[in-house]
Structure 1
Amino acid sequence: MLQGFVPFPPEFAADYRAKGYWRDQSLAQEFDAVFKRYADRVALVDGKRTYTYADLDRITDNLALNLLELGLKPQDRVVPTLPNVAEFVILYFALQKLGAIPIAALVTHRYLEISQFVNLSQATACVYPETQGDFAFAPVIDRVQAEHASLKFRIVLGKAGKGEHSLVELIEKPATLKRSELEKIRIDPTDPCIFQLSGGTTGIPKLIPRTNNDYAYNSKVASEAAHVDGDSVLLLVLPIAHNLPLACPGIQGFMFNGGKVVVHANTRPEEMFALIQQHKVTHLKVVPALLIRLINDPSIGKYDLTSLKQIQSGGQRMQPEVRTRTTELIPSAFVQENFGMSEGVLMFVGFDDPADVKLETCGRPICPDDEVRLVDDDGREVAFGEVGELTCRGPYTLRGYYGVPEYNARQFTPDGFYRSGDLMRQHPSGNYIVEGRKKDLINRGGEKISAEEIENLVLMHPAVQNVAIVPMPDANLGERMCAYVILHAGQSLQLKELVAFLLTKEIAKFKLPERLEVLTDFPVSTFGKVSKKALGEMVAARLAQEQAATA
C-alpha cells in the first residue's frame, strides 16, 4: 500500500464486496476481458484513425512492455498533460496494465501546476505534447526535472529531443519483452489506479486516490444511469483526463459496454456537429458554457443530429432555459443534468423524471449505498427541504486525500463522510438542487479555480497590498474571476498589467482574472473577516449597471 493513501475501512469494504459493487479485479483485469469480449468492434476513433478493441489490447500491451523496459514500475506515478487524442487513451490503458498510476493533469497546465503534481506524487515520468499552440513543454519539463529528483523519464508526443523518449516510438516499436512480464505484475484492486485532482480551496491541489475497485464500479453504475449499451457512441471534446469524460461513464463506461468513443481536440461547434452526423453519435458530454455555444451557433441547422439520445451536462448548474432551448433544437436528445465530483458520489437526473424535476434538479445518487447527509455548520442534519452542506460516503467516494492527514482531519467527519463544501437542498421528488457552495472557488465553465491560489500570486505584485478573488456572474461560463485589490500608497495597476505579471508565474491561462477592481478598503463581516459575499454582490451589481447602460 502506498504511504499516504487512506484505504476504505475493512467493514465497509466487506459490505461493498458482498453487494457486488467491488469485484476485486484491477482495471487491467477488467479491461482484459472487455478487449477480448468486443475484439472486433470499433472502440476508438481519432480523426482518420480507428482502433478496434483488439487493436487497443495489442497496442497497449506493446506500450506497457516498452515502458516496463524503459524503467517504469508498478505504482510509479506518471503526469500526462495530453490533449484529446488517441495516444492518451492508449497510454491510460497501458499504465493500468503496468500498474503505474496516472495523475489527471490537463494540457492547459503549465510549470506551476506540473511542478506541484510531480512534487505531491513524487512522479517518475511526465508525458506531454511537443507544443500546445505557441507553448513549448520541453523547457518547463527541464526545470521540473532539475527540481525533483524523482522525475526520471520524459516522454514526448512529437519529436524527441535530448533526454526525451518518443511516445509514438514507444507505442509502435515492437517490444522485446514477452507479454508474460505483464502477467507477472500483481495489482491490488484496493490500491489507487489514478489520482484525480481536487478543486479545493487551498493554493495547492489535492490528489484524489481512486482505487481499481471503486473506479470500475463508478463507470459501470454511471453507464447504467446514462443508458449506455453496445450501440452507444460517445463524442468527447471536454478535457479527456477529467473525471466526467474519463469515467462517468466516459471512456471507461462506454468501453465496458462495447461502445465507441470518438475523441476530438477542440470544441468548435461546426466540427462537433459534423462528427455527430458522421459517426451517428448518441451521447455528448458538455458543460453549460459549451452547450450555450452549440445551440447559438448558426451551423446547427446544417447537420443531422437526430442520432443524439443524451446530452450529459456537468461541472456547474444549468439554467432551465438552456435545457428547454436545446430540446427544441435537438428533440431526439435528453439533456441529462448531473452533479458529480472527482472525489466520488454522482447524481444523475432520471430519464423518467417528471418535466419539472428535470428542469429544476441535478438528480439523485446513482448507487443505493451512496450515503448523503445535508448538514448545518455544526454538523447536524438539516430538515427536509432546507439548505445544508453535502456530506457523503459510499462505495466509490474517497476516504482521504493522498498524503495530507491534517487536511483530511478537517474534510472528513469522524465516521468517514466527506465534507464537499457544496450547498444543496432536497427537492420534494427526492432529487437534489445545488444552492451554492461553502468552498472559496470560481467555477469558470466547469473548471474549478482556487481563489487562494490566485490571491497568493497576486499578492506578489509590488503594487498590491491586499487582494480578494471573487466570482462574477457570466451568462456563458457561469462565472468569471474578478480581482479586488487594495494598492500600496501611490501605486496604480491595470488589468492588463496584472495579467502580464501573473503569466510570469506560469499558471494555466484559464486561471487569470478577467476583471480588476481597486478599493481603498474591503467590506468585512460581523466576524471581522473580508466579506467576499459583499464583494460578489458589488461586482454583480456593477455588471448589471453596465449591461443596462449598453442595452
Structure 2
Amino acid sequence: MITDLKINDERKNLYYEQGYWTEQTLGDIWLEQAARFPDQEYVSDDQGSRFTYREVDDRASRLAAWLVEQGVRPGDVVSFQLPTWAEFCIVYVAALKTGAVMHPVPRKYNDADLIYDMNLVSTKAFICPTKVAKIDFEEQILSILESIPSLGPVALVDKAAPKHSDLPTIDEICARYEPLVERPAITSDDVTCILSTSGTTGKPKAVLFTHNNLIFSEKSFVAGAERTRDDVMFMASPLNHATGFFHGLISPMLLGGRTVLQQDFRPAKALEIMNTERCTWSMGATPFIYDMLKCIELGEGPRLETLKVFICGGAPVPSSLVQCAFQHGVLLCECYGSTESCPHILVPPSECMEWNGAWSGVALPGIETRIVDANRMDVPLGEQGEEISRGPHQFVGYLNEPERTARALDDDGWFYSGDLGFMDARGRIRINGRKKEIIIRGGENICANEIDDDLIGCPGLDETATIGMPDERLGERICTFAVPSDERRPTVADVTAYLAEKHVAKRLWPERMEYIDAIPKTATGKVKRHELADELARRMQAEQCL
C-alpha cells in the first residue's frame, strides 16, 4: 500500500466537513452506477466494441477474480498499455474491484520506457494488446519480463490480432472465471491511480491520486462544464492522460452517461462518429477542434449535428477559433490545468461567447486559485505572476520523491504550476506564459532539456538549445538551435536519423534546425530561451517576406 501522502490533517478534515470528500471509493460508485443503469450503454469505440454498465461490470469482475488468484492485493499496481478502446474500461474497473492502483501507460511507450516506468511504480500485473498496426505489444512485453522484478501476471487483449504466446487473453479469462464478489479492504483516502508525467525533468514522475481526489475532481469538472446524464462524450485522446481517462471515462460514469471512443483521431471520421452516436460534448487539445472545423469548411467531412460543447486544453484558444466553432453550433471553452491539478480552471459554456477567448477560465467549484510573485505573495489584480491552485482534486505527491513533492506542493496544499498568468476581480484567469522549460506540442508536454541531452554526441553539432516553435495547429513544434561543430550543419533528416539509431522516441525529434554562433546564456549559465524565441520569430518573419 502506498503511504506517506502529502495532505495535512487540517485540509483533510475540512474537505470531509464540507462534503467534498466522503468514505465512498471509486469502486463503490461504480457498483452503484452499474446497479442503477445496468442496461445503459457505458462505452463504445470505433473498432466495434460496445458495452453496457452490466457487461463492463461482469467482465471486470471475472478479470478481477483472475488478478486476485494471481496474487494481486489491495495497493498493488496494475499497469496497462492500451489504445483508446472500450476494453480499457474493463481493465480499470477490474483494478478497482481488487483494490489495486490503476497505472495506465502511454500506448507509444517502447521497451525502454516501460522498463523505467514499471520499475518506478513496482508494477505487479500488466495488460496490453497483442498487436496494433505495426507495433507488436505482446512481443515487446515478453522481451522485457526479466527487467521488471516486481512483475507477475500478464494478460492480453487480442482485439486486433491473435496472440502468439501462452499468455492468457481477457476473453479466455472471462470464460474461465466466476465474478469476484468480495469488496477490497481499502478506503477512499488510499491511492487509486498513478499517472506518469514528464513535466520539465524528462524522466516520468509518478503522480498519485486517491479515490477522493478523482471523485471530487470529476464531479467538479462536470458541474463546471454544465453537463448532465443526457450528454454523450466523444473522446479520441489517449486514455493514459487525465483528459482521456478522467474526463473521457470517469466523468460520464459519475453522471450515469455514456462515452464514445475513437482509436486514432481522424477529423472526417470523428465528425461521422459524433453525428452517428449523437455526441453532445468532447474534450481534447486544440488540434482536434481545429482539424474538425477545417475539415468541415473544406467540404471533406459532414457538418456537426449534435455536438454542443468542446472543451479545449493544452494551449490558449484564440477568439477567432471560438467564433469559428460558434458558427458551426459549438461552444469552444478553454480549460487549464496539469496532471497534478488536472483542469481546475474552465470557461463555463454559458460564458463562452461573452469571454470570447480572452480568458483561460475561472476556478471550478470547490477549488481555489491565486496569482503570486517570486516570494509566493499575492500580486495585485491584473498583474502577472505564477498561477497556483488548491483543492480536494489535487494530487497527493510524487511516488517516492518527497523533495520534488515539497517543491511543487506546499504544506498548506497549494500547488505551484510554474505557469504565468493574471487574474481579474471576477476570479477569471488568463494563462499567458510559463516558467517551465517545456514545449506543449498538440497538448503534450515535451521536455526541452531531454531533447538537448539526447542530441549530445550528434555528428556536426556542438551545443544545442531546444525551444517551442509557434504552430497554428499544434500550438508549438520542436525547434533546436545548434552551434555547429564543423561545416556540415546537419539537416533535420540527419538529426532524426541519429536519434532513431539511439532508440529515442519520435515525439522527441526536432522538427526544425536553426544554427547560431553561440547559445545565449545568463551569467549563471542558464539558456536565455526567450532570446532564442525572439530570434526564431525574426527568422520566420523573414521567410514570409521572401
TM-score, length-scaled by structure 1? 0.93
Contact 1:399/1:418 (<8 A) preserved: no
Q: Which residue of 2 aligns with 1:44?
A: 43
Q: Which residue of 2 aligns with 1:482?
A: 479
Q: Which residue of 2 aligns with 1:348?
A: 346
List per-residue Cα deviations over 1:144-174 (Å, max 9, x = no partner).
Answer: 322221122332323334463323323x323
Aligned counterparts, 1:173-322, within 5 A? 173-176=175-178, 179-180=180-181, 182-183=182-183, 185-248=184-247, 250-298=248-296, 303=302, 305-322=304-321
- The SS at the match of 2:333 is strand
Deviation at 1:462, TM superposition (A): 5.0
Contact 2:333/2:352 (<8 A) preserved: no
Q: Which residue of 2 aligns with 1:137?
A: 137
List per-residue Cα deviations over 1:197-246 (Å, max 9, x = no partner).
Answer: 23410021211111101101111111112222221111111112210222
Contact 1:347/1:364 (<8 A) preserved: yes
- The SS at the match of 1:165 is coil
> Which residue identity does 2:148 align to in structure 1?
H
Change (3 A) 1:12 1:507: same
Deviation at 1:431, TM superposition (A): 0.8
> Which residue identity does 2:71 align to in structure 1?
G
- The SS at the match of 1:32 is helix
List per-residue Cα deviations over 1:497-549 (Å, max 9, x = no partner).
Answer: 22122223434422221112233311123544221111122122222222332
Deviates more, 1:212-221 or 1:142-151: 142-151
Deviation at 1:62, TM superposition (A): 1.2
Deviates more, 1:444-453 or 1:455-464: 455-464
- The SS at the match of 1:151 is coil
Deviation at 1:66, TM superposition (A): 1.8
Contact 2:439/2:468 (<8 A) preserved: yes
Aligned counterparts, 1:351-362, within 5 A? 351-353=349-351, 355-362=353-360
Match of 2:408 among 406, 411, 414: 411
Q: Which residue of 1 aligns with 2:114?
A: 114
Instruction: Report the Cα distance in structure 2 between the residues aligned to 1:287 and 1:221, rounded to whole angstroms.
Output: 20
Deviates more, 1:227-236 or 1:150-159: 150-159
Aligned counterparts, 1:423-434, within 5 A? 423-434=420-431
Q: Identical aligned pairs, as a percentage? A: 26
Contact 2:460/2:485 (<8 A) preserved: yes
Change (3 A) 1:217 1:141: same
Q: Which residue of 2 aligns with 1:511?
A: 508
Instruction: Report the Cα distance in structure 2 between the residues aligned to 1:189 and 1:207, rounded to whole angstroms.
Output: 19
Deviates more, 1:229-238 or 1:43-52: 43-52
Contact 1:76/1:100 (<8 A) preserved: yes
Contact 1:79/1:117 (<8 A) preserved: no
4+ residue runs of structure 1 moved beyond 4 angstroms? 298-302, 489-492
Q: Which residue of 2 aligns with 1:364?
A: 362
Instruction: Report the Cα distance in structure 2 between the residues aligned to 1:421 and 1:241, rounded to whole angstroms.
Output: 23
Deviates more, 1:196-205 or 1:503-512: 503-512
Deviates more, 1:132-141 or 1:251-260: 132-141
Q: Which residue of 2 aligns with 1:166?
A: 169
List per-residue Cα deviations over 1:117-136 (Å, max 9, x = no partner).
Answer: 11210112332223333222
- The SS at the match of 1:323 is helix
Change (3 A) 1:408 1:546: same
Change (3 A) 1:463 1:128: farther
- The SS at the match of 2:393 is coil
Instruction: Report the Cα distance in structure 1 between the residues aligned to 2:144 and 2:378, rounded to whole angstroms.
Output: 46
- The SS at the match of 2:375 is coil
> Which residue identity does 2:102 align to in structure 1?
P
List per-residue Cα deviations over 1:319-363 (Å, max 9, x = no partner).
Answer: 1111111111x22x2212111222125111123327342421111
Q: Which residue of 2 aligns with 1:544?
A: 541
Instruction: Report the Cα distance in structure 1 between the residues aligned to 2:537 and 2:125, rounded to whole angstroms.
Output: 44
> Which residue identity does 1:18 align to in structure 2?
E
Contact 1:126/1:153 (<8 A) preserved: yes
Instruction: Report the Cα distance in structure 2 between the residues aligned to 1:263 and 1:18, rounded to whole angstroms.
Output: 37
Contact 2:325/2:331 (<8 A) preserved: no
Deviates more, 1:124-133 or 1:391-400: 124-133
Aligned counterparts, 1:374-393, within 5 A? 374-393=371-390
> Which residue identity does 1:401 align to in structure 2?
Y
Deviation at 1:415, TM superposition (A): 3.0
Kindly tell me the number of residue pairs found equivalent between the two proteins: 540
List per-residue Cα deviations over 1:9-54 (Å, max 9, x = no partner).
Answer: 1221111111111122211111100111111211111244322111
Deviation at 1:487, TM superposition (A): 3.8
CA RMSD between the two structures: 2.1
Deviates more, 1:234-243 or 1:434-443: 234-243
Deviation at 1:78, TM superposition (A): 2.5
Change (3 A) 1:490 1:140: farther
Instruction: Report the Cα distance in structure 2 between the residues aligned to 1:71 and 1:524, rounded to whole angstroms.
Output: 54
Contact 2:326/2:332 (<8 A) preserved: yes
Contact 2:363/2:427 (<8 A) preserved: no
Contact 1:390/1:421 (<8 A) preserved: yes
Structure 1: any 5+ residue segments left out of the alignment? Answer: none
Whether 1:443 aligns to 2:445 is no
Change (3 A) 1:503 1:80: farther
Q: Which residue of 2 aligns with 1:62?
A: 62
Contact 1:108/1:509 (<8 A) preserved: no
> Which residue identity does 1:179 align to in structure 2?
L
Deviates more, 1:502-511 or 1:16-25: 502-511
Instruction: Report the Cα distance in structure 2 between the residues aligned to 1:191 and 1:125, rounded to whole angstroms.
Output: 19
Deviation at 1:259, TM superposition (A): 1.0
List per-residue Cα deviations over 1:41-81 (Å, max 9, x = no partner).
Answer: 11111244322111121111111112222332222212222
Deviates more, 1:67-76 or 1:92-101: 67-76
> Which residue identity does 1:548 align to in structure 2?
C
- The SS at the match of 1:241 is coil
- The SS at the match of 1:341 is coil
Deviation at 1:139, TM superposition (A): 4.3
Change (3 A) 1:458 1:262: same
- The SS at the match of 2:214 is helix
Whether 1:86 aligns to 2:83 is no
Change (3 A) 1:505 1:30: farther
